Structures are given as C-alpha cells and as structure tokens.
Amino acid sequence: MQLCSGNKELNARIIHRLGLFVFALCCLLSLQQVSAQDAKNTTVSLQVNDRTLKEVFLEIEKQTGFTIEFRHDVLDQNKHISIIATKESVSKVLERLLAGTGTTFLQKNKSILIIKGSPAAPKAARPVSGNVRDNNGEILIGVSVSANTVHTTTNENGDYFINVPEGVDAITFNYVGIKPYSEKTEGRSVINVQLARQNVELGQVVVTALGIKREARALSYSIQGVNVEAMNETKSTNLINSLSGKVAGVQVIPAGFNTGSSRIIIRGNNSLTGNNQPLFVVDGMPIDNEPGEDGSIDYGSSANDINPDDIENIQILKGPNASALYGSRGSNGVVLITTKKGSAKFKVAFNSSMMFQKLTEFPEYQNAYGVGTSFAIDPTNRIPRSTVNYRSWGSPMLGQPYVALDGKVKPYLPHPDNIKDFYSTAGLFTNSLAVEGGNASNVYRIAYTNYSGTSVVKGFNDMGRHSVDFRLLNTFSKWLTLDSKLNYVRDIVDNRQYSNSNGRNPTNLYTHMARSTDLAELLPYKDPLTGMEIGTHRNFSNPYWVINENPNKDIKDRLIASFNAEAKITPWLKFNGRFGTDLYWWDGFEFNNIGSVVASNPNGFMRTFNTKQQNLNLEGIFSFSKNIKDFSIQANLGASKYTSSMERREQRINSLLQPGLINLSNAKEYPTVSQTIRRKEINSVFGSVSLGYRNYAFIDLTGRNDKSSTLPKGNNSYFYPSLGGSLIISDLLHMNSNFLNFLKVRGSIAMVGGDSNAPYLLEQTYSFNGFLNDATLASLSTTMNNPDLKPEKTNSYEFGLNARLLKNRISLDATYYNAATTNQIITAQLPASSGYQQRIYNAGKIRNWGYEASATAKLIAKKNFQWETSLNFSKNNSMVVELIDGVDRFQMNNNSSYLYVYAQVGKPYAYLRGLGVARDAKGHMLIEDGGSLLVKDNDMAFGTASPDWLGGINNTFRLGRLDFSFLFDVKMGGVIYSGSFSRMLTNGVSAETLYGRDDFYLHSVILGENGSELSGGAQWDAYFADGTKNTKYVTPQNYEYARPNYAEFVIYDASFIKLREVTLGYNFSEKPLRRTPIKTARISLAGRNLAILYRKTPKGLDPEAASTAGNGQGIENGALPPNAIYGFNIKLTL
C-alpha cells in the first residue's frame, strides 16, 4: 500500500517518485477524481474504534478491490481514528477520513492516490469549533463530525473544527458505541457536546469465546455485557458481588465479609457434586476461581484478585451454546473479562474510593428476662463468670443485685445495645494510579492499585492488597503485533473468618449473648492467673479471645501473565499464538491458644501450610475472514494445551507446650505432616466456521475435541459440536419503520463434554499415617474409585430474538433455553458393609430450562436531560431426573440432625428436607398424649433453595453534568434455613421467646402454683390424634428448647427486593480545571445494599445469607446480619 520504504537506493527512489508523478499527472489530465462514478457507486461498511488509518485503508481495499497509495510525508498512516459507515460511498468515507489532514485524493481505474491539497471549501461556510466528551466527562478521540458533505474528526483532546456550508443548520456526531447525535447550530460558533455511551448494540463488534471478535448481530446465542464504569462506582472488593442484578440468568450469592467466597451461577446448577460456577477468562487466559473454603476457614474466591479498576469490558457467555469453544471448563458459562490496553496519547488516571460498611439491622431481641435458667438468675448465685447459665432464661430484669459475668455484683438490668455495640464501622479504601502512553509502534499501560480494608468486627478480616498491572502492545509491522500482559497481586489477610457455624466465629455472639450482659464484661477475656479463656458460652468462644488468642494469617502472591502474538499472513488470514500462566504462592498459619472453653481445642493447636499452584494455557489459532460478493466467511482452526499443577504441604500440631508461642516447635507431641500433589492436563483441537449472507443471515458451526488426563484410556478423548443460526428479519424484509427498527431471531444447539475436575479418581490411592514400632503405617482411601469413568455430557439448545423499537430507543433480548447434563461424575455414600464410605459413579441427570429477558429504554432523551432504564428477568427451572440405579436421593450437605440438603429424583436441585411436625388431614399440628411434645415428621419436605425467578431494574438520570442511578435487585422464591435463629430460640434471646413467660412467671413463681399440671405458660397450637384441641401448658423454656428440634420453625421464604446500588455523580467542566494539570474530574457518592424493601425473613436475617459457596445451598448459620456499604469516589485524568 505504501510507496516509500525510506531506505531505498537513490536510483530506485527517483524512478519510484517519477512513476508517482506520471500517475498523478495522468489522473489530473483525465480529471478522474475519486468523485467519479466508480468511487461514488462503490460502498463500504465500517465500524472502527481507535484503529490506525493504515488498518482502515486495508479494510477498504479488502471490501472494494481499490488500491490506496500515498507517501509517508503526505499522510501519517499511524494516526488513530474511529468511524462508522453503513453502505456509504468510498468517496464520502475518504472525505471523512482525510478531513483536516490537508490532503485530497485522485482516482484512476482501481487505484486511489492521496496527495497534498484540499477540496474547495463550500461557499459562505461558517466556522464552528467545539469539544466532544462522553457522559462521564472522558475525552472522545476520533468522533466523526459531519455538516452535510463536510466531515472531520475530533483530535486527541476531543476538539474539532468544521466549516458548516450555507443552508446547513445541524452538525452530526458519530462514534462507535454511541447513537448518532445531531445538534442544531443556531448561529453558534462554539458547540460542545456530551455523548452518552450505551451498552453493547447489535451492530457492534463484541469479543466472544477464545477472544474471537464477532458482530453482535451475527451471534446465534445469548451474550450480555456489564457497564464496567457504573460497576466501579459502587466499589466492591469482590468482583462477583458487583454482578448481582445486572445480567439476566445470573445468580450471585454474596459472601458476608469482603474476604469471603461468593458464588455465581448462570442458568442454574448443572452438576450434582462438582463445580457449578462459570469459567473466568481474563484477556484470553482462563484463571482459577475455586471457592477458598479450607477446613473451617473461608479463604475467599480467587476471582477476588481481579482488580475492577483494570477492567475495560465484561461479557457473560451464557451456557454451552455460547462457550462451547472453551470445552468442559466452559460448560457452566464464561465470564469474559478484557482489561485496559492504554493508548498512544500520554495520560495519567487516578481513582480513589473511600467506602464504609455497617450493619443496618439486628434481630429483634427480648429485654425483659436475663441470664439464668428456669427463671432463676443462677442456681448458686455465687459462681463468678459462670459459663453454665449463659442463656437468657432467668428472672425478669428489675434491677435486683446479681453476680455478673465479670464477678462483680451489679443491678440485674437489660443491655439492649450489647450486640450492636460489639460491631463497628468498617473502612474499605482503594487508590489506583494508571499511566499510559507510547507511540505508533509501542503502547503501554502500567497501573498500581492499593486496597486496605477492615471489618465490622474489629481486628477480624483485616486485608491489604497490592496489585500491579502492566500491558504492552508492540506493533513490529503491519503484519505482526505482540500483546503482553503481567498482573501481580499480593494479598495479606489477618484473622480470616471461620465458617459461620464454627464456635470460633465471633459473629456468633449475636445468637447467644445474654440480654443482661454488658459488653464490657467480656473483657478481660483471659484469666490473669491461669491464662484460660473467660468464656460466655460452652459452645462458642469469647469473641475477644478468638480475635486475640486464635490468630490466623495468610499471604498470597499471584502472577497472571499472558502473551498474544498476532501475525497477519494475508489480508484475510492471520495466526494468533497465545501463552498464559496463572501462578500463585500461598502461605499461612492458623493458631489456637491453650485454654479455650470450646471443647475441641482445650490444649490448643497450630497448623501451617504452603501451597503452590500453576495453570498453564498454550493456544494457537488460525483465523480466516473474507467477503466474497454477498457472502462472508469467518473460520478458525486451533489447538490448545492446558496443564494444572498443585503442590501443598501442611504441618500440624494438636497440643501446644507453651501458651502464646506461635511456632511449630511448641509441640507436646509429634507434628503431623502431609503433602498433596495434584496434576491435570487437557489437550484440545477446535474449529469454527461462520457463514453470512448479505449481513442478515448467518450460520455458525463449532467443534472441539478434548483429551483429559483425569479419564481412563478409551474414554479420555471426546468430541462435541455446536450449530447455530440467526436471521435479521428486519433487513430481509426491509422493515425499518419508525416503530420497528431491528428484528432478529436466533437459535443454536450444542453439546459439551466434561471431565472430572479432581484427578486420581481411577485407581485406588493410599496415604501414609505415621509409624508403629518403627513400621510405616499406610491406609487406603475411604472412597472407592472408578477405573471406567466416562466424560460427562451436557446437551443444550436455545432460541431467542432481539429487537429495537421506536427509533432504537427500546431494545429487547429474549431467550428460551433447555439443557440436560448426564453421565455425571458424582460421589455417593456406600453402606458400611462395603468397607468404604463412598464411591465414584458415572450416573445422574439434571435438567435446567427457562426464560431470560432483558430490555433497555431511553425514556427521555432531551439535550440536557436523559432517563434510561434497563430490566433483567430470568426464570430457571431445575429437576433431578435420575440418580444412581436404585437410589432416589442422596445427601449433598447437612446442617445438623434436623435438616439436610438433597439431590432427589423428581425434585429441583438442592431440595431441603428434615424434621417437621406431623399434621392431620386438616393440616393441624399433632401433639403426643402428654401434651408436651409434638409428633415428629422425620422427613418433611421444605422446598428448594433455588429461586423461582430473578430480576433487576436499573435507572439512570442525567441532568447536564450530574447523573443519578439506582439498581433494584429482585429474587422471588426459594427457602432458607436459619441456624442462627434456631440458636436464638434455644438461648432465649429473641423477642419470639417472650411467648408465655409472663403468664408462667405469674402462676408458677409469683402465685406459687405447683400442681401436677401447669396453669400458665406456653401452649402448642396443636391437636391430639383423636381431634381434640390441646389445652396443656409447658414451660416457655421447654417450649423454645423443643422448637429448634423441628427445622420447619426456622425455615423461611428467601424472597427479597433490595436497593442494591445507588450512585450520584458529577463531571466537572473544563472551566475550573483550565489552570490545573487536571483534564477531567469526576466525584460520586455511592452505596450498596442500602435497604431491603421486601422480604419474608425476620428482621436481622439477610434472605440471601449463605454458609457456604458450595453446592449445599439454602442454609444460614451464623452469617452477618444485613449490612450496607456507602462512600464516595474521585476520578481524575491528567
């Protein structure tokens, strides 16, 4: 395309330039300018954002067959521009591209020459200048500015200058991702505009599986993007939490603490015992996101390490149809993340966020009766710091003297705020600095982010994070580029939370702290003479003891690196070679001091661990893209190799020698040492072909074959295809009316194979277990492995439509999907007589089917005021179709002897069953003849933890430079079991437990009635088997002791409507910034989880609380009460 290389010998240069002169002279003499018939009648379609002129000219050549030539000293071919053109003539496109460059162009036959000079300006043209920015105040470079036939583009500062011809009264602005906008000139010479960015439109290019770029209009499956800029306003250190309510079909179950593990599910659960969460892919590199639950401590999800400030784009690939090319790892969908690359223009960006977290409500407590039992303060009333009567079943609190927890005689009075006072306001602080710049050949971006956060429990879950992100894009020539990325993250966390139900979790305090206990009585927490814990409960440690005497700490260093080389072999064929690694080193310790009142750790213990894990991904893809008359062909053929290796060493001592010494040598017994090594490998070949006809009919075909090391020979290689198609009816039938602007139907069918995520399930394994009489002891695994495992299979199909209405102000996306996963690799219990506890099976089938819909609407689109709204809705149905032969259900997880989570044939996923109360034919509870105990139903069905439907409603208002947005997150249906509220009943602290107390106290204590039957107290609303109504009383204490034995009394509807996010922001104008180095500035106030607007759970119980990020959902046990995050953000660019 170019005429000069710059280093030719003199004779060659002279001949070359003479040739150009002769060619130009001939063109001038023949008056064949580009405006001649060929260039006028030949059209091109372009959608280009921030690409070089050289690349745009290549695209025009590819579409039209023209050859475009110019000299280096005439035109800067590396200038970055953006342009949108739909079936526009070549002449008009070139006029727009060359506006403001001082050049014009000539044509002869199929050759176009760009030379110095400019076309004559229209008569009586009026000069107009201005600046163009987006709705966040960011400069927009390369915006196409048009006044009829005159065109120009904004420069690196967002400025433009244009001569408006006589009779033209409007200027039009076009930019990728933004609807064309026209502004009336009204005689003005300066016109500044602000363009509102939009979500992914169907005509735009989006990144799909394996980084393949496709036009959204051509896709045959559902894909949905996330507004990253809005997401980062309401800061969350947990990326998964930030997705809640924003994508149809995506359910997020958040962690209570910022360091915990959150769960994300797309279109329901596909696996009975395996991983159900989607694959995370960052810049083409699949990364690990296993839940970090290790023993009794939650170490957080690995996706937490992704820095939101470095993210440019998030696309959600839903289900196997969209993610088939990722193979078994993408069978649950893919969260596709593209990070920022930077630009050649030097820029410094600084973001600062200061957020605060606070509990917004607590359970309703009773403040009438204090510590004690059977309406007595203490049987001895002389036992200081007694841990026997920690429950609130004592006397009415009337100020009478009693021996308090700290051993002092105090008035027996309620302390209504003793729980509230234990919690504090947490601070979450994020600061990031990014620098980018470069030149035509090399563009870089380097960013540093620092996060520090505390917890609502002081001294608990304190976290520091350092993240460095480096990106370098090298353009060696027009044929070869290299994209390199390095991301280093260091996490340091002190005192991570124990699992919610663990006795060492200090948040459990709100479930049992006596109503007469002053919080100050918990200090000191340690006896100065014995060093023993001064406890508050025989099952739960003093929270201050846990924080100070049971420390844990871990440090994780993580490096995510990827290198992507792209070689353009021809204008229509390229090769991408990609190498990526996800490597982390993770070290930590857990220490429990001597003297705990919790029975499991009276002698203390300590463990240390060292983990190294590395995931490697090597990939090569040939990509073919060509238009042949009315047809377009895009094909890809590639191969990949994935390896995962993990090595973990753990050292443990179960009895300490000296209190307080955090050292493995502080042992009363020999330490136990274990080492785990795990390796896995998948080799794959894959391909795809996409055919298009006249840009309105498309067919997609993909195929992939994986060979996995976790399956046996003969079964370890498996192939799976997909087929899809889409038809743009509005283009086919020319339906572009004022009402219906776009209509597309699509459908696809896919099959995905799957292996076992865990290796070594084929042959029996054994482990060494110490020594006996100098002989090494070894034991077989308690799991019976399966040497004949076969790959899992997921078959799915989906169809849907996309529409845009009312001049593109309303867009709709609707999808129906149906997926079934069979031949699952599951672990199930075996009878004790087998000699094993469980076995690995190929069995089971789960079916998920449902609907998704999303809509966006520009309700008001005035010059200075806009109102945009978006809605998401999804309804997923699940059913366990079959399990192992002869088994109709098996247990997935259990909370206690009262409740179990099952996979049950004919029922939805995660079905809760447990102890309930038997009923008669009329639905009345049945009571035993004595009138004190209810008749048990040992296998009552309570329903599924999965919701009936999910929804999200977001509204954004813009008034000049001010914007305001809020998001409602909706979940309807599903049930939750509360272990916390169960304990509150037993401990007599909740307001519910007041039932019958006053009546019983009057009759049995004040009046002294002591007959064989009570004449006052609590009474079961139940019937005897003969239909007689129960009239017998029981003591309130026995009544509440009994209720938690029946899980149904603490099973609740988990529906909710939450005010999930609120943001109020302001973009400063240029005027106050002119005398500063600051080019743009934005400040915003933001909040998350500010209110629960609707729910059916009792006050203090968050309806989306969870005790695990695993598959056994529907259980809450010691989770945090509802809490909110609020604060402000500052964004500056220099």
Q: Which residues of the chain have pLDDT under 50?
A: 1-37, 120-122, 199-203, 379-388
Q: How far apart are CA 588 and CA 292, in angstroms?
A: 13
Closest CA to 84 of 227, 221, 215, 229: 215
- Model confidence, pTM: 0.81
Q: Longest C-alpha distance within the chain, in Å? A: 125
Q: How far apart are CA 711 and CA 789, in angstroms?
A: 6
Q: How far apart are CA 310 and CA 434, in angstroms?
A: 9
- Angle among Cα 239, 344, 53 to the nearest 5 degrees reads 115
DSSP 771-799: EETTEEEEEE-SEE--TT---EEEEEEEE
Residue 118 has what pLDDT?
56
CATH number for domain 205-343, candidates 3.40.1710.10, 2.170.130.10, 3.40.50.300, 1.10.10.10: 2.170.130.10
For the segment 122-152, what is each residue's pLDDT rounded down to a tens digit? 455 788 888 888 766 667 777 888 887 787 8
317 Cα distance to chain centroid:
13
Three-state DSSP string of 211-275: HCEEEHHHCCCCEEEECHHHHHHCCCCCCHHHHCCCCCCEEEECCCCCCCCCEEEECCCCCCCCC
Residue 593 has what pLDDT?
93
Closest CA to 750 of 315, 221, 202, 216: 221
Cβ atoms < 10 Å from Cβ of 347 = 18
Three-state DSSP string of 282-296: ECCEEECCCCCEECC
Q: In what order do the strands lie in the sheet with 975-978?
A: 1051-1053, 975-978, 1115-1116
Q: Which helix (H) or strand (E) holds 98?
A: helix 90-98
Residue 954 has what pLDDT?
96
- Relative to beta strand 67-69, strand 111-116 is parallel
Residue at 162: amino acid letter: I
- Relative to beta strand 293-294, strand 838-861 is unpaired
Residue 1090 structure tokens: 């500010």
* Domain 1-119 in CATH 3.55.50.30: yes
Provide the 8-state DSSP code for 519: G
Residue 135 has what pLDDT?
67
- Each domain of the chain, given as residue ranges in start order, spans 1-119, 124-197, 205-343, 983-1051
Query: What separation in angstroms does the CA of 1041 have from each of 781, 1037, 1099, 1115?
Result: 40, 6, 21, 20
Two domains, one topology: 1-119 and 124-197: no
Q: Which helix (H) or strand (E) holds 967?
A: strand 962-972
Q: Quick check: 1119 and 256 in contact, CB under 8 A?
A: yes
Residue 631 structure tokens: 């047809």
282 Cα distance to chain centroid:
13
Q: How far apart are CA 368 and CA 272, in angstroms?
A: 47
**Which residues contact residue 122 at a Cβ distance below 8 angstroms, ignoring those fewer than 6 apart?**
149, 150, 163, 165, 166
Closest CA to 338 of 419, 490, 445, 460: 445
DSSP β-bridge partners for residue 159: 131
Phi-psi region of 770 (alpha: psi -120 to 50; beta: other; left: phi over 0): left
Residue 489 has what pLDDT?
96
Residue at 671: amino acid letter: P
What does the buried/exposed string (b/e) look like for 547-575 if buried means 16 or more CB atoms within 10 Å of the residue's CB? bebbbbbbebebbbbbbbbbbbeeeeebe
Residue 239 has what pLDDT?
85
Q: How far apart are CA 734 and CA 148, in angstroms?
A: 25
Residue count of the chain: 1134
Residue 119 has what pLDDT?
52
Superfamily covering domain 124-197:
Carboxypeptidase-like, regulatory domain (2.60.40.1120)
Residue 3 has what pLDDT?
36
Q: What is the torsional sign of CA 184, 186, 189, 194?
A: negative
Closest CA to 429 of 356, 484, 375, 358: 356
**Which residues contact residue 1080 at a Cβ distance below 8 angstroms, ignoring those fewer than 6 apart?**
133, 137, 138, 139, 1067, 1068, 1073, 1131, 1132, 1133
Q: How far apart are CA 450 and CA 490, in angstroms?
A: 10
Q: Quick check: 729 and 746 in contact, CB under 8 A?
A: no
Q: Quick check: 371 and 392 in contact, CB under 8 A?
A: yes
Q: How far apart are CA 565 and CA 575, in angstroms?
A: 8
Q: How far apart are CA 197 and CA 211, in angstroms?
A: 23
Cα pseudo-dihedral 846, 847, 850, 854, rounded to 10: 50
Residue 155 has what pLDDT?
76
Q: What is the torsional sign of CA 661, 665, 667, 668?
A: negative
What does the buried/exposed string (b/e) look like for 578-595 if buried means 16 or more CB atoms within 10 Å of the residue's CB? bbbbbbbebebbbbbbbb
Backbone φ and ψ for 322, nearest 5 degrees, come out as -85, -30
**Which residues contact residue 888 at a Cβ distance below 8 angstroms, ignoring those fewer than 6 apart?**
904, 905, 906
